[in-house]
């Protein structure tokens, strides 16, 4: 393969019978010039991007971002592909490299940004969050920068959104933000504080996440059980009333309407928090006496 353009010491554009490609590898472009042959042993990654605009953006990023940032980003992407066992969308090479470089620049200058969705991301995208923790150690080792968990969560979202058919980043943020808003509705409705690292919390937001997806796809997650529904309405009045407020919120915000059987299941999750809050209140009262 002959070099058509040198982007940096670790990335070059080559052209062969199948068209243009971006080739990356330690020193692949070092002391090279146009029309030189690529040293095969130095090739670590070859990119053939279907989207011309994405290809152009990647070229620009490889020219202007620090090489060490790009190398770490690519190492994280490769690790994610191995762990997930799936092909990752090519868009991640541009979006994630750019994001990571900017984040490292911010953190180096002492600028930290809080991620308001941290606890939700830990639960909803736990596998990707673990990969983010691996990336945290790699970034510290290779770049000497300690990233906080808020940034680990951002890495997790990039990885998840890049999985084929996973949807785009904006949709993920909207979905996760909605769950956070619903959690606040439940807290205000029952005058309780939800413990975000509890098993009950994990069950609730996982259920909400999939129930919202089901509504959007017009799928039914549960069979209608009128006897159980009647029992829930009678025995868990506060929880069911709260579930109705959640349903009203989702309807007003998205135009999606929860069927009664779904409100029933949400009520059961809410009741767990209500019971725990009552037990906790009684315990604290006894301790004060």
Distance, CA of 14 to CA of 2 (rounded, Å): 6
Q: Predicted confidence band at 286 (pLDDT cuts at 50, 70, 90)? A: low
Please, which residues bridge with residue 50 across strands?
Answer: none
- Of all residues in the chain, the percent with pLDDT exceeding 90 is 18
For the packed helices 149-162 and 92-108, what is the interaxial angle rounded to 10 degrees? 170
Q: How far is CA 20 from CA 1, 13, 34, 212, 215, in A?
A: 10, 7, 14, 42, 43
User: How close are the terminal C-alpha atoms of the chain, in Å?
Assistant: 81
Domains 1-48 and 50-167 share a fold: no
For the packed helices 260-288 and 226-235, what is the interaxial angle rounded to 10 degrees? 30
Q: Which of 29, 14, 10 is nearest to 75 (CA)?
A: 10
Query: Residues with Cβ < 8 Å from 38, sequence gap 6 or more?
Result: 1, 2, 3, 12, 14, 23, 28
Q: For the chain, which residues make up each domain, given as ranges?
A: 1-48, 50-167, 172-284
Specify the fold of 1-48: Transcription Regulation, Sacy; Chain A (2.30.24)
Residue 223 confidence (pLDDT) above 70 = no
Distance, CA of 75 to CA of 175 (rounded, Å): 29
Average pLDDT, stretch 212-237?
A: 74
- Pick the residue with more confidence: 12 or 214? 12
- Domain 50-167 sits in which CATH superfamily? PRD domain (1.10.1790.10)
Say what the pTM is.
Answer: 0.65
Q: Which of 57, 9, 58 is nearest to 33 (CA)?
A: 9
Q: Predicted confidence band at 224 (pLDDT cuts at 50, 70, 90)? A: low
**CATH number, domain 172-284:** 1.10.1790.10
């Amino acid at each position: 393969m002959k070099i058509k353009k040198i982007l940096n010491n670790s990335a070059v554009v080559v052209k062969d019978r199948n068209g243009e490609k971006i080739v990356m590898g330690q020193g692949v472009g070092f002391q090279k010039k146009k029309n030189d042959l690529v040293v095969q042993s130095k090739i670590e990654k070859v990119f053939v991007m279907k989207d011309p605009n994405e290809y152009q953006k990647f070229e620009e990023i490889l020219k202007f971002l620090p090489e060490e940032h790009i190398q770490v980003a690519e190492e994280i992407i490769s690790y994610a592909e191995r762990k997930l066992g799936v092909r990752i969308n090519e868009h991640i090479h541009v979006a994630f490299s750019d994001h990571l470089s900017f984040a490292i620049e911010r953190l180096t200058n002492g600028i930290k940004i809080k991620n308001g969705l941290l606890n939700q991301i830990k639960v909803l995208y736990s596998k990707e969050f673990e990969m983010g923790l691996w990336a945290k150690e790699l970034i510290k080792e290779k770049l000497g920068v300690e990233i906080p968990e808020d940034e680990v969560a951002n890495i997790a979202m990039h990885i998840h959104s890049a999985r084929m058919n996973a949807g785009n980043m904006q949709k993920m943020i909207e979905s996760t933000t909605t769950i956070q808003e619903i959690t606040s509705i439940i807290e205000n409705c029952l005058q309780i504080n939800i413990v975000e690292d509890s098993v009950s919390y994990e069950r609730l937001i996982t259920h909400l996440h999939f129930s919202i997806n089901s509504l959007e796809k017009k799928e039914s997650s549960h069979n209608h059980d009128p006897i159980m529904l009647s029992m829930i309405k009678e025995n868990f009045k506060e929880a069911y009333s709260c579930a109705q407020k959640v349903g009203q919120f989702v309807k007003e915000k998205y135009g999606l309407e929860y069927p009664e059987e779904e409100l029933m299941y949400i009520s059961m999750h809410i009741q767990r928090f209500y019971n725990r809050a009552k037990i906790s209140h009684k315990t604290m009262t006894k301790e004060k006496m």
